[in-house]
Structure 1
Amino acid sequence: MLEPFWIWGILGLVLIALEMLSSTLYILWFGIAALCLALLTYLLPALGIAWQLLIFAALSLGSLAVWKQFYRREKNNFNIGQSRSDEIGRTGIIIEPVSPRQNGMIEFAQGVLGSRRWEAVASEEIEAGAEAVIVAVEGNRLRVSRKTAH
């Protein structure tokens, strides 16, 4: 049978390898705790299994709690090309008629929020071939209105 030193060492290496595959930084702390326990059982071979499990739990959860306290993931709010307010006022061509009772389709020369064709909703009837302007983005649909001549 393997000595506790080897069991904790192998467990620690396996957990760290799993961390490298998942890259969540949660499993890492359990792997480090297992490696610390491997060192501890090497230095104190008479340490009982109950104490080993208790120390492993304390090291794992304690290091995870400390890490969560100090780690702040940087939030990047750079939604390049995804600003909905920038799309208000863009003009497209209705390719399927739209009315208050039925959704239609609108197409743009250049993509709007990543797509050239969108489902369109309107408060008025707009026939196919007419120009329409985006007045709002509602989920995965564009609210449009008939383009008025200036």
Structure 2
Amino acid sequence: MQFGIITMLEPLWIWGILGLILIALEMLSGTFYILWFGIAALGLSLLTYLSPTLGIAWQLLIYAVLSLGLLAIWKRFYQRKSDDSSIGQSRGEEIGRVGTIVETVTQRQNGRITFAQGVLGSREWIAIADETIEAGNDAAIVAVEGNRLRVSKTSS
């Protein structure tokens, strides 16, 4: 009679190996989702060491509850510290800079604005506005919206 390697291993080692594999996969993915399943498997490995007569059904139930519980706790208390959606964009340093409108901008039509010194790496930008600003007038940056600058008339 020949036994497979899995049937010869004790549950302590099976859960320990599974936990280490899951944590290694987490290190490759960097998502923090697989981590909790790996920690739960390592915890269950410790539990089977302390209670070696624990049945397989109880082991699976405890693993499911522990891993999903850890994941739920992490999701509840994890809060993103920064918004990564605007990587490489201005965080307000350019707001208020004044440039000259070279192509009239209206509520319905984008225009163009130029600056004496570059703004975010360029001297000329597509301008959008909530008002009509004629070519030749000065305008100030109100917001950076993707690859366009929202501008408004300067008070002069």
Give the TM-score taking structure 1 as reference length: 0.67
Seen in structure 2, the aligned counterparts of structure 1 residues 20 and 100 have a Cα distance that, compared at 3 Å, is closer
- Separation in 1, partners of 2:37, 2:26: 10
Shift of residue 144, structure 1, vs aligned partner: 3.4
* 2:60 counterpart residue number: 53
Shift of residue 135, structure 1, vs aligned partner: 6.1
Identity %: 51
* 1:17 counterpart residue number: 24
- Separation in 1, partners of 2:28, 2:42: 18
Which amino acid in structure 1 is aligned with residue 92 of structure 2? Answer: S
What value does the CA root-mean-square deviation take over the aligned residues?
A: 3.4
Q: Does 1:103 align with 2:110?
A: yes
Seen in structure 2, the aligned counterparts of structure 1 residues 99 and 60 have a Cα distance that, compared at 3 Å, is closer
Equivalent residues of 2:128, 2:149 under 8 A apart: yes
Q: Does 1:75 align with 2:84?
A: no
- Separation in 1, partners of 2:38, 2:46: 13
Seen in structure 2, the aligned counterparts of structure 1 residues 101 and 60 have a Cα distance that, compared at 3 Å, is closer
Q: What SS does the aligned partner of 1:87 have?
A: coil
* 1:126 counterpart residue number: 134
* 2:38 counterpart residue number: 31
Which amino acid in structure 1 is aligned with residue 95 of structure 2? Answer: E
Unaligned runs of 5+ in 2: none
Deviations 1:35-68 (A, max 9, x none): 1222333454443221111011122233334455
Equivalent residues of 1:100, 1:125 under 8 A apart: no
Shift of residue 16, structure 1, vs aligned partner: 0.9
Give the TM-score taking structure 2 as reference length: 0.65
- Separation in 2, partners of 1:125, 1:108: 16
Equivalent residues of 2:101, 2:139 under 8 A apart: no
- Separation in 2, partners of 1:135, 1:64: 43
Q: How many residues align structurally?
A: 141
Which amino acid in structure 2 is aligned with residue 64 of structure 1? Answer: L
